[in-house]
Structure formats: structure tokens, C-alpha cells
Amino acid sequence: MTEVDRKQDRAPVPTGWTYAPAPESRDIVRLAEGYGHFIGGEWVDAAETYGTIAPRDEEVLAQIGQGTEQDVDAAVAAAREAFANGWSELPGSERAKYLFRIARILQERAREFAVLESLNGGKPIKESRDVDLPLAAAHFFYYAGWADKLEYAFPHRQPKPVGVAGQIIPWNFPLLMLAWKIAPALACGNTVVLKPAETTPLTALVFCDVLRQAELPAGVVNIVTGDGRTGAAIVDHPDVDKIAFTGSTEVGKAIQRRLAGTKKKLTLELGGKAANIVFDDSALDQAVEGIVNGIYFNQGHVCCAGSRLFAQESIAEPLVEKLKKRLETLRVGDPLDKNTDVGAINSKMQLDRITELVEAGKEEGAEIYQPPCRLPEKGYWFAPTVFTNVAQSYRIAQEEIFGPVLSVLTFRTPEEAVEKANNTPYGLSAGVWTEKGSRILWMAQQMRAGVVWANTFNRFDPSSPFGGYKESGFGREGGLHGLEPYLRFEA
Ligand code: NAI
Ligand code: MG
């Protein structure tokens, strides 16, 4: 034993330390009692409303409109008028100014939006503060840069805006998905009718205030709230030129069926069941961090979550041991506490779905591990979960759980890893952990997945396109590729 080791042996190491509460103040958020729809730059009262809640304690935060066909019709008309009367003819350099303004205002109001996102959606404040908000602003900055360079992006093709875009987004990254949708649409000269998810409408509604601050012309962005019925009205509206949808594979398929035979353009970003593949030569401690980030980030409410861990057999045991130890240090609790790692499950419905799939995993014969943790009494919570002894055929290895639940499988050879990893109806993302560069490149070519991360996971950048293979959807968001769905080409 070395001198240093012995010293460490004798050092008085405190074992029982816990973090003191470090709550972020919510006073910065000023909510109205209720919100209507934002149409043509004005607030329009909603005929029917429902309460949106904070999943951490089920507190009702505000009353939200359930958009009707008439509301959608008015929003589409406002978007059409704004498109025809100026916006689509504006020079790209002028459109860029609005996008830059929006980006700057989001940065200035970042703390307010981060708190609101965590309050309404349940995600840890450190994630909304350090990931959602910076990335949302970055997206607007990035597409502002393209607005006056479309001819260079698509030389000799005469890019033109498509018209009115109908955009339907989910509840896992509410403001970030709004940015992914609105920024490229506006950069290309389109106008927008956007519907946030029914459980997380608040950041989209407060964003309307940002639009006013940026003096964006009325009708360029319209926000209509409500559930799937409102979404369906947008999809079916005859004067919408393009639909962009992010959400479940089930609804994505239904939308594709409904649009068959129409002239509407469509992009779908749907579910996933990503493989995170760890080879025996990888740095195991780093891999553990990547696995944790891959599946427990945002409570696993991530379409590209690394929900299937493939461990090479020779290191499977030590890897899972390290992972279990690491899970003991994850802090589950109040999303507004700056030390929280895993926040609240977004909704009762999602909690029920996670619970059902976890029960199925137990029944099918997988072995469950959950670290000891005290879950709050009120609100929706689920402990970080690892399943071992998982067979390829189990539901927990096939279906998207969209919760903090990891299924561990093993493999012996790279070929076997490829075969098993690709054996799902999805193909959104994958992770590869190895020290060997040639293997990274080979694996990246073999994976039927839109994004392949090497020795990292869940990394995003606005300049990098994101999207799926197979039932994970089609079309790309981000990067140069993300402009194309919002353009038509005259040559
Ligand atoms: P969902 O697909 O029903 O909801 C996503 C959005 O689509 C929401 O804004 C919703 O109001 C809207 N919508 C629902 N039905 C519609 C319809 N018929 N026409 C047009 N728009 C419609 O997803 P849900 O029910 O919230 O979650 C179910 C499962 O879907 C989750 O457990 C998860 O596995 C998956 N999911 C995947 C997401 C992703 O990012 N890929 C996001 C959300 C859910
Ligand atoms: Mg649904």
C-alpha cells in the first residue's frame, strides 16, 4: 500500500453528509390567472379552459384554453395574412434582426423561463437553466444567421418559403422544441401556428410576451393551446402548408395517414429506444456518467434517451456495479432545488405508463434495482431504475418507456452489438463507448440511427441535424438540413 493510500485510510471521511436545500426562488415568474390564445398579435379569450399544474405538487398554476376548430381557423387566417402581407417578402437580413432580438431577449429572461419550465414540466432547474434555455437561445441565434444566406445554402435552387407552418410539440422540452420549430420556419420566411403540449403550455404562452418585446409583426407567430383535438384541427386545416410534429409514434403515424394525398409537407420526430453500447476497452467511469446522463437526464423523458444499455460481457458485471453505486448518489426531488438530479414525472398519465411498463418488466422476469430514496408524498415521482437479466423480447427492451428506467443487455462481439442494437422499430440515436477510433467509425456506420454519439451522450448543438430512421420519423431539425423542410425550390 502506498503512503497516499494509507493516509486516505486514516483520513476522517464524513459519510453522512447530505446537501442542504438550495431552492431557486419562483418569485421571478409572474403568471396571469389564465391565458387565452395568441392570435394575430392579440390575446383571444378561450371558450373552454382547463388548469395546468406543477407536477411536483399538483398545484394549479393557471387556466389554459382548450383551442377549438374556430380558434385554429382564426390562427391560420392570421398566419396567412401575415405571410401574404409582408413577412414572406421581407429581406432575409430583416427577418434575421427579429430572430436575433428573440434570442437576446431569451438570454436576458433566461432565469425566469428556466424557473417556469421546471415549475410546469418538473425537470430539474439545473437542466432548464444549463441546457434548455441556452440551447433555445442558441437555436434562434443560429437560424438568424441563415436567414439572409438561403441562396448560398441552396445554390441555383431558388429557395422560397412554403407558407403557413402548423407545429405541434411535446412536453419534455417545451421551450426548446418551440425554438427548434419556430426559428427555422421564420428564418425561411414562413409564418407559424404552434400548439404546445397540454401539460406544459406556460413557457410558450410567456414566450408571446418575448415576441411582443421583439416587435415581431402580428400574425407571424400564433400560439393556440389545447390537447390532441386542437392538434388534429391544425393537421386537418386546409390552409396549412406544412406540418412539423414531435411526439409519440402512434400520433405521428395517424398524422401521416391523414396527410396522405394532400400537398402538405410533413416532418415527424417520434419515439426512440436508443442503444448505449459499452465495449470492454472503454473508460468505465466515464461510461457510467454517460449512461446516467443518457437515461436519467430529464427523468428519461427524452426521445433519444439511452434506454438500452449494451454492456460487453467481460465488463458487464463491474459496469453494472459501478452504475448502481452511482445511482445511490442521484438526488431525486424538488425540480426547483439546484441540487436536484432527477425531478418530477411530467404527468399522472406518464407516471401510469412508466409504472405499467416497469411492472411488465418484473413479470417477464427481469431483475429490478432502485437505489434507496425517499420520494415526496405529493406530486408524481419515480425512482431511478435499472433492470438486469433483460431479454431482447421483453417489453422493457422493445417499447419506449419515457421514464428513468434503464434496461441492461449484454453482447460478446461488435457484430452482435450491432445486430441487437438495431433490433427495434426505432432509430433515433445511439451511443458507443470505446477507446478505439476505428471501431467508433465502424459502429457509427452500422447503427441505423440519426445521431450516434461516441464517448458522450445527449449532446446537442443547433448546427447539428437531428432526426430519425424507421419509426422514429423523417426529416431533420437543426443545421443546414433543418432549413429544407421550410423551403420549396423553384429550380
Ligand atoms: P402525444 O404524441 O399524444 O403528444 C404530443 C403532442 O401531440 C401534444 O402536443 C399533443 O397534444 C399532440 N397530439 C395528440 N394527439 C394528436 C392528434 N391526434 N393530432 C395532432 N396532435 C396530437 O404524446 P403523449 O400522449 O403525451 O405521450 C405518449 C408517449 O409518447 C410517451 O410515453 C412517449 O413514449 C412518447 N412521446 C415521445 C416524444 C418524443 O419526443 N419523441 C414526446 C412526447 C411523447
Ligand atoms: Mg397522446
Which CA distances in Å does 400 have to 99, 122, 134, 259, 409? Answer: 35, 20, 27, 25, 16
Per-residue pLDDT band at 9 (split at 50, 70, 90): low
Q: Whose CA is nearest to atom 14 of ligand 1?
A: 228
Percent of the chain with pLDDT over 90: 95
The amino acid that residue 327 corresponds to is L
How many whole angstroms from its chain centre is CA 239?
28
Pick from 276, 273, 323: nearest CA to 434: 276
E strands, 254-327, where?
265-269, 275-278, 308-312
* pLDDT surpassing 70 at residue 409: yes
E strands, 339-404, where?
367-369, 385-388
Q: How far is the centre of ligand 1, averaged over its atoms, from the C-alpha of 251 (Å)?
A: 6
Residue range 286-300: mean pLDDT, rounded: 98
Cβ of 235 below 6 Å from ligand 1: yes
Pick from 169, 196, 184, 2: nearest CA to 102: 184
> Candidates 177, 246, 248, 451: which one to mutate for ligand 1, based on the most atoms within 8 Å of Cβ?
248
Q: Whose CA is nearest to atom 43 of ligand 1?
A: 247
DSSP output for 235-258? HH-TT--EEEEES-HHHHHHHHHH
CA–CA gap between residue 318 and residue 324 (Å, rounded): 10
The catalytic site residues sit at: 269, 303
Lowest mean pLDDT, pick from 179-183, 249-253, 373-377: 373-377
* pLDDT surpassing 90 at residue 12: no
Question: Residues 228-265: pLDDT tens digits?
Answer: 999 999 999 999 999 999 999 999 999 999 999 999 99
What atom in ligand 1 is closest to the CA of residue 177? 40
Question: Residues 412-458: pLDDT tens digits?
Answer: 999 999 999 999 999 999 999 999 999 999 999 999 999 999 999 99
Predicted local confidence at residue 6, as pLDDT? 46
The amino acid that residue 71 corresponds to is D
Cβ of 270 below 6 Å from ligand 1: yes
Predicted local confidence at residue 116, as pLDDT? 98
Q: How far is the centre of ligand 2, averaged over its atoms, from the C-alpha of 226 (Å)?
A: 12
Radius of gyration of the chain measured on its C-alpha atoms: 23
CB 228 within 8 A of CB 375: no
Cβ of 305 below 6 Å from ligand 1: no
CA–CA gap between residue 377 and residue 45 (Å, rounded): 36
Q: Three cell numbers at 220?
A: 407571424
> Candidates 251, 253, 295: which one to mutate for ligand 1, based on the most atoms within 8 Å of Cβ?
251
The amino acid that residue 96 corresponds to is A
CA–CA gap between residue 459 and residue 95 (Å, rounded): 29
What atom in ligand 1 is closest to the CA of residue 472? 41
Return the ligand number nearest the Cα of 271: 1
Q: How far is the centre of ligand 2, averaged over its atoms, from the C-alpha of 178 (Å)?
A: 18
Would you call 167 helix, strand, or coil by DSSP?
strand
Question: Residues 110-166: pLDDT tens digits?
Answer: 999 999 999 999 999 999 999 999 999 999 999 999 999 999 999 999 999 999 999
Cβ of 400 below 6 Å from ligand 1: yes
Q: How far is the centre of ligand 1, averaged over its atoms, from the C-alpha of 368 (Å)?
A: 28
Q: Terminus-to-terminus CA distance in the chain, angstroms?
A: 74
Q: At what angle do helices 414-421 and 437-446 cross, to 10 degrees?
A: 30
Predicted local confidence at residue 2, as pLDDT? 43
Cβ of 347 below 6 Å from ligand 1: no
Question: Residues 197-225: pLDDT tens digits?
Answer: 999 999 999 999 999 999 999 999 999 99
Q: How far is the centre of ligand 1, averaged over its atoms, from the C-alpha of 387 (Å)?
A: 26
Residue range 369-395: mean pLDDT, rounded: 96
Pick from 297, 291, 288, 248: nearest CA to 269: 248
Predicted local confidence at residue 5, as pLDDT? 47
Which CA distances in Å does 122 have to 35, 348, 457? Answer: 20, 12, 22
Q: Whose CA is nearest to atom 38 of ligand 1?
A: 247
The amino acid that residue 433 corresponds to is W
Return the ligand number nearest the Cα of 305: 1
DSSP output for 132-161? IHHHHHHHHHHHHHHTT-HHHHSTTS-EEE
Q: Whose CA is nearest to atom 30 of ligand 1?
A: 248
The amino acid that residue 442 corresponds to is W
Q: Whose CA is nearest to atom 13 of ligand 1?
A: 228
CA–CA gap between residue 45 and residue 24 (Å, rounded): 32
Q: How far is the centre of ligand 2, averaged over its atoms, from the C-alpha of 227 (Å)?
A: 9
Q: How far is the centre of ligand 2, averaged over its atoms, from the C-alpha of 250 (Å)?
A: 8
* pLDDT surpassing 70 at residue 364: yes
CB 92 within 8 A of CB 149: yes
CA–CA gap between residue 388 and residue 56 (Å, rounded): 29
**Burial class for 398, CB neighbours closer than 10 Å (0-12, 13-18, 19+):** middle
What atom in ligand 1 is closest to the CA of residue 168? 9
Cβ of 228 below 6 Å from ligand 1: yes
Q: Given the C-alpha cell 417556469, which residue does it identify?
A: 116
Q: What is the mean pLDDT of the chain?
A: 96
Cβ of 190 below 6 Å from ligand 1: no
Helices and strands per DSSP (H, E), number in the chain: 17, 20
CA–CA gap between residue 170 and residue 245 (Å, rounded): 9
Predicted local confidence at residue 19, as pLDDT? 85
* pLDDT surpassing 60 at residue 96: yes
pTM of the model: 0.96
The amino acid that residue 107 corresponds to is Q
Percent of the chain with pLDDT over 70: 97
Cβ of 138 below 6 Å from ligand 1: no
DSSP state of 343: -
Pick from 328, 282, 346, 324: nearest CA to 117: 346
CA–CA gap between residue 137 and residue 159 (Å, rounded): 25
Question: Residues 24-64: pLDDT tens digits?
Answer: 999 999 999 999 999 999 999 999 999 999 999 999 999 99
Per-residue pLDDT band at 10 (split at 50, 70, 90): low
Per-residue pLDDT band at 18 (split at 50, 70, 90): confident
Predicted local confidence at residue 17, as pLDDT? 73
Cβ of 76 below 6 Å from ligand 1: no
Q: Three cell numbers at 87?
A: 413577412
Q: How far is the centre of ligand 1, averaged over its atoms, from the C-alpha of 172 (Å)?
A: 10
